[in-house]
Structure 1
Amino acid sequence: MLLELTVERLALIDALRLPLQPGFNVLTGETGAGKSILLDAIGLLLGNRGSAELIRNGEDSALVEAVIALSPSTQARVKPLLEEWGLPWDESLIISRELFKSGRTVCRVNGRLATVQMLRELGWRIVQQHGQHDHHGLLRTEEQMRALDLYGHHEELLADVRTQFRHYLNCKRAYEETLLDEQGRAQRLDMLTFQIQEIEQADLQPGEEDRLRERRKKLQHVEKISTALQQAKSFLDGEGTIGALTLLGNAHDHIAAAAAYDDSLHEAAELLQTAQVHADEAARLIYRHLDELDEDPSELDAIEERLAQIRALQRKYGASVEEVLAYYETAVQERDDLLHHEEKASRLFADMQAAETALHESCERLHQARVEAAERLSSEVVQTLRALSMPSARLEVRVWRRTQSDGTVQYSEDGFDQIQFLFSANVGEELKPLQKVASGGELSRTLLALKSVLADVDDLETLIFDEIDTGVSGVAAQSVAQQMRKIATSRQVLCVTHSAAIAAAAGTHYYIEKTERDGSTQTSVRKLDTSGRIRELARLLGAGIADETAVSHAKALLERMGAKGA
């Protein structure tokens, strides 16, 4: 729901803040007062083309900003888009666009920089602006398809098509990946065979590199190790003097003898005995290590060669022995797949064909549902157009299969259908695409009829109509007003009008006026109360406010249309 529009330095507008209300809003005013400027301002936020000519004279830039509160259904349409763009998300949306004399334009969404294309993608999901030169909403073929599917309640059929389409794409991609040219396949097979043989011949073992590095460190320092062991052995044995083992034994014997007279010495005696046992065990380990100590230089050379071989393999296939072995397993699998290429390709082709068959059946079910819904929608819209002073108008929702150059259907996540709304305003005119044949007023009324029929299912909450009263008066104008009030019960409607009947049906009435002050022209917008509405309705009826008949007519019209003054 569009809550507040801010415009600064745009054409005739110096500064304007317009809080739009829920329900039915109308804008009226004298010709040239600036109604189109407000619609241009909203169009800029929807991604329409901007121009330096829109900037107010004497200013270097113009700013348009809207604060929009989003309902849960609109949030569901907008949130994924903002997340895809990496923009901040909230339950309300702030969109701004600034135009500069240099031609530069700066767009922001929730305070972050955005592009005009992003505004366009975001805008048509929130607001539909309908007028002679607008190409939003139901003039877009993708929006026409969305409207038809909403009308026909095709949610489950669409979900099935999208699931089948994704499955088909995955099967198709897997099959196409097997279709390497024969030369490329042979080259890849040779490369894999060489790599597998190279790794197999190396006979790598998990943890081997660490063990080799540990053994190399020992062999590189064998002299230091031998010297240390010999010294430790001499300290323990004594070698001509009394060694540590003998001294520990003597100390234990003396303390044990003293403990016979002093019980408190028993703990010391036990500790000395334990120390003697540990020293004796350490001595045996040292003796064994000395016996096993090997100074063969050929083993060190062999270790260096093995480590060099491992490093060479790691440079090619992975940072560790484990990664090299993992690459080996992958290479073996790929080689086997290439050796059984035809068998795998045949299996994947069959999977792709089965997926395409399932997709086609889902698309066909959706197609039939759309054809039936299109006929009902066309009939309902034509009936509504009759009440909008378009008795000869025809609308046809045409559905046909989208095909490729070879005649086969072209699939997408929305099925294989092409949908177009065709329109004819007068007897004898052939049906043509809606946006190419309707005048501004006819287009707006046709879109109003569509929106009226779709009122219960459409999830767009803000609609803007311009020139909807062109060529409409009397009872037909009242019918237009009633249709707009019907739509406004569940969404926000903004309408620029010259029709008193339409203005009287609105819940909120804004008056646009142009004034001259200090040598410059200003456009302002006022929200009218009941008396103000009566005066404006009298003017729209073609008489001044001093004309008592016109004023009486305006009061009666306001009462009959059931609108309440603000």
Structure 2
Amino acid sequence: MLLELSIKDFAIIEDVSISFDDGLSVLTGETGAGKSIIIDAIGLLIGGRGSVEFVRHGAKRAEIEGIFSLDRCEGVTNKLLELGVDPGEEDTLVLQRHITLQGKSVCRANGKLVTLAILREIGQSLVDIHGQHEHQHLMQTDKHLRLLDRFGGEKLLKAKQEYKDVYERFQKAKNQLKRLSENEQQTAQRLDLIQYQLQEIEQASLQLDEDDTLEKERAKLANSEKLYEQIQSSYNALYGDSKGLEWIFLALQNLEDVKHLDEGLTEIYNTLQNEYYMLEEATFSLREHLDTLEFDPERLHEIEGRLSEIHQLKRKYGSSVNEILEYASTIEEEVDTLEHRDHHIQKWQQEVQSASEDLYVEAQNVSKLRRQAAEKLQKAVQSELQALFMKDTVVEVHFQSLTPSDDDPYINGEKIHFNEDGFERVEFYVATNKGEPLKPLAKVASGGEISRLILAFKTVLSSFEGVTTLIFDEVDTGVSGRVSQAIAEKIQKMSADAQVLCITHLPQVAAMADTHLYISKQEEENRVVTNVRTLSVDEAVDELSRMISGVEITDLTKKHADELLQQANQIKQL
């Protein structure tokens, strides 16, 4: 849900902040006041295409910021986490979009810089904008199947997940078979290469962590003289006449003579005695360690050679000995597979066939549930269209099998192509008048028909689409009379399940508003400035009167406006 929108230096808007509430918010005002510009700004905020032309004359950049509530948007929250964006503790999301005069676009989500593609992915999961010439989900054929699946509910979604699990198995088998069935010459070349690599690694007789062990030993041997001198110096400082241990021993003797005279000295004496014995033991250990030190130039030379050999292998097969051994294990399996290629091809052919048969069963189940959902969807949409005075309109969900390719499996003697969604695609078709053929929804020409069709579909699908904010930009264009009232009621009905923002010139729609925003423009210092304010009930009556009659507001139009508001309130209480 969009909570607040801030627009600065965008087109004719200098600086506007708008707060939005639940339910239906209607934006009205004179033509050219900037209503559609506000919707354009929201479109940019959710990833729309930007242009330097949007930057207000005299400004350096246009700035748009929106605050969204993520309540009831678990899918969006999960998507934010996947994209590395912190959703915050208050379940709010701040989207920002800046467009400079140089054409540079800067996008942020909760303060984190994101790409335009990520902004679009996030934004269009929250907001769906529908205008007379800008159709999103419903006018995009590739979205129809996903919408139908959501409409089908949990049972269909569960069946689809079961299908996807088998599809992953099918794809793995198919990829393995494809790799093994490649050109024999390429396979032979690959086998020769990895056999040589495996032989080279095996001849080196590498041991786990060998490079780390040798590096440490080389460092010790290369610095053996320095080690000997420093250890010898430490030993001499502790052991011998007038050295560290002797002075500590003298201190112990002196304390031993007087500790019985002062109880406080006993604990000090005991501590010093313990430290003396520990130092004495460490001193003897230093002497023993000195005896083990030796400079062995031959061993150092041997280590240098071995490390050089390992370095050459690292350049080819991994950054460490352990990675090289892991790579050797991988290609060893591949060598076995390629040496017994025919056997493995037969094995994966059987697995592809077995997986495809299982997949076909799952796809049939998904298709069956889809067709059941399609029947319900058709009836629900047609019912909504009757209320919109399109009783003769026929709506159908068309199913079409995916086009098979050469490498697709045969099922019951017929090639079947599968993708991650099944073995079919769907598209919404309509016929708006008797005797007319069914046409794709995306190709319906009449503006008034499109408006009502979209409203009917969205009324049925709004709770399944996932977005929490629906925006209609003058979708009521081309309708009048009783159709206007029907459209107003449909838009109001949708606002029960999602936040709805609507630009309208119809008083019937405006009367249904839970929040009525009035957009106006005025001149300030020879510049046009757009203003937005929320209307009170009395102001809403005046605005409805203007929408009914035009410039002149009469007592009759006020009475009509008041009646519209009363009627709208009665409808909302039903």
Normalized against structure 1, the TM-score is what? 0.75
The aligned counterpart of 2:264 is none
| Aligned partner letter, 1:434 | L
The aligned counterpart of 1:423 is 430
The aligned counterpart of 1:43 is 43
**Contact 1:132 1:441 (8 Å CA) reproduced:** no
Query: Which one of the candidate residues 480, 501, 504 is aligned to 1:473?
Result: 480
Q: Deviations over 1:233-264 (max 9, x none)?
A: xxxxxxxxxxxxxxxxxxxxxxxxxxxxxxxx
Q: Deviations over 1:318-354 (max 9, x none)?
A: 8998888777666654443333221122112211221
| Aligned partner letter, 2:74 | Q
- Confirm or deny that 1:87 pairs with 2:88: no
Separation in structure 2 between the aligned mates of residue 200 and residue 58 of structure 1, nearest angstrom: 72
**Contact 1:129 1:137 (8 Å CA) reproduced:** no
- Confirm or deny that 1:113 pairs with 2:120: no
178 and 532 in structure 1: CA distance in 2 versus 1, 3 angstrom threshold: same
**Contact 1:442 1:468 (8 Å CA) reproduced:** no
Separation in structure 2 between the aligned mates of residue 205 and residue 362 of structure 1, nearest angstrom: 48
Separation in structure 2 between the aligned mates of residue 496 and residue 206 of structure 1, nearest angstrom: 70
Separation in structure 2 between the aligned mates of residue 497 and residue 322 of structure 1, nearest angstrom: 68
**Contact 2:195 2:335 (8 Å CA) reproduced:** yes
The aligned counterpart of 1:167 is 169
Separation in structure 2 between the aligned mates of residue 199 and residue 516 of structure 1, nearest angstrom: 80
The aligned counterpart of 1:146 is 146
**Contact 1:455 1:487 (8 Å CA) reproduced:** yes
Separation in structure 1 between the aligned mates of residue 181 and residue 457 of structure 2, nearest angstrom: 49
- Confirm or deny that 1:507 pairs with 2:514: yes
353 and 506 in structure 1: CA distance in 2 versus 1, 3 angstrom threshold: same
**Contact 2:363 2:423 (8 Å CA) reproduced:** yes
Separation in structure 1 between the aligned mates of residue 322 and residue 552 of structure 2, nearest angstrom: 93
The aligned counterpart of 2:495 is 488
- Confirm or deny that 1:459 pairs with 2:466: yes
Deviation at 1:562, TM superposition (A): 0.6
Range that drifts further, 497-506 or 192-201:
192-201
Taking every aligned residue pair, what percent have the same amino acid on both sides? 38
Separation in structure 2 between the aligned mates of residue 499 and residue 32 of structure 1, nearest angstrom: 16
**Contact 1:172 1:352 (8 Å CA) reproduced:** yes
Deviation at 1:376, TM superposition (A): 2.6
Question: The residue matched to 2:549 in structure 1 has which SS?
Answer: coil
**Contact 2:8 2:15 (8 Å CA) reproduced:** yes
**Contact 1:423 1:433 (8 Å CA) reproduced:** yes
Which protein is bigger by CA-based radius of gyration? 1
179 and 394 in structure 1: CA distance in 2 versus 1, 3 angstrom threshold: same
| Aligned partner letter, 1:88 | D
Q: Deviations over 1:163-208 (max 9, x none)?
A: 1222212222233333354334444545565666677778888999
- Confirm or deny that 1:562 pairs with 2:569: yes
515 and 181 in structure 1: CA distance in 2 versus 1, 3 angstrom threshold: same
The aligned counterpart of 2:158 is 156
Query: Which one of the candidate residues 545, 551, 554 is aligned to 1:547?
Result: 554
**Contact 2:173 2:352 (8 Å CA) reproduced:** yes
563 and 48 in structure 1: CA distance in 2 versus 1, 3 angstrom threshold: farther
The aligned counterpart of 2:442 is 435
Deviation at 1:107, TM superposition (A): 2.1
| Aligned partner letter, 1:175 | L
Normalized against structure 2, the TM-score is what? 0.74
Separation in structure 2 between the aligned mates of residue 120 and residue 167 of structure 1, nearest angstrom: 32
The aligned counterpart of 1:75 is 74
Range that drifts further, 335-344 or 355-364:
335-344
196 and 137 in structure 1: CA distance in 2 versus 1, 3 angstrom threshold: closer
Structure 2 unaligned residues grouped into runs of 5+:
225-296, 409-414
| Aligned partner letter, 2:367 | H
345 and 473 in structure 1: CA distance in 2 versus 1, 3 angstrom threshold: same
320 and 162 in structure 1: CA distance in 2 versus 1, 3 angstrom threshold: closer
Question: The residue matched to 1:494 in structure 2 has which SS?
Answer: strand
Separation in structure 1 between the aligned mates of residue 9 and residue 173 of structure 2, nearest angstrom: 56
Separation in structure 2 between the aligned mates of residue 320 and residue 63 of structure 1, nearest angstrom: 50
Q: Deviations over 1:196-239 (max 9, x none)?
A: 6677778888999989x99xx99xx9xxxxxxxxxxxxxxxxxx
| Aligned partner letter, 1:504 | A
425 and 52 in structure 1: CA distance in 2 versus 1, 3 angstrom threshold: farther
Range that drifts further, 327-336 or 20-29:
327-336
108 and 200 in structure 1: CA distance in 2 versus 1, 3 angstrom threshold: closer
| Aligned partner letter, 1:133 | H
Question: The residue matched to 1:43 in structure 2 has which SS?
Answer: helix
Q: Deviations over 1:78-120 (max 9, x none)?
A: 2343344333333222112222333332222222223333333
Deviation at 1:42, TM superposition (A): 1.3
**Contact 2:463 2:498 (8 Å CA) reproduced:** no
Deviation at 1:557, TM superposition (A): 1.4
Deviation at 1:529, TM superposition (A): 0.9
Question: The residue matched to 1:8 in structure 2 has which SS?
Answer: strand
Separation in structure 2 between the aligned mates of residue 17 and residue 306 of structure 1, nearest angstrom: 72
Q: CA RMSD in A?
A: 3.7
| Aligned partner letter, 1:359 | L
Listed as ranges, the matches of 1:150-299 within 5 Å are 150-153=150-153, 154-190=156-192
Listed as ranges, the matches of 1:332-411 within 5 Å are 332-404=332-404, 408-411=415-418
| Aligned partner letter, 1:12 | I
Q: Deviations over 1:414-458 (max 9, x none)?
A: 222212122343445433332332444432321211121224544
194 and 104 in structure 1: CA distance in 2 versus 1, 3 angstrom threshold: closer
**Contact 2:125 2:466 (8 Å CA) reproduced:** no
Deviation at 1:530, TM superposition (A): 0.8
**Contact 1:313 1:324 (8 Å CA) reproduced:** no
**Contact 1:515 1:521 (8 Å CA) reproduced:** yes
Range that drifts further, 410-419 or 423-432:
423-432
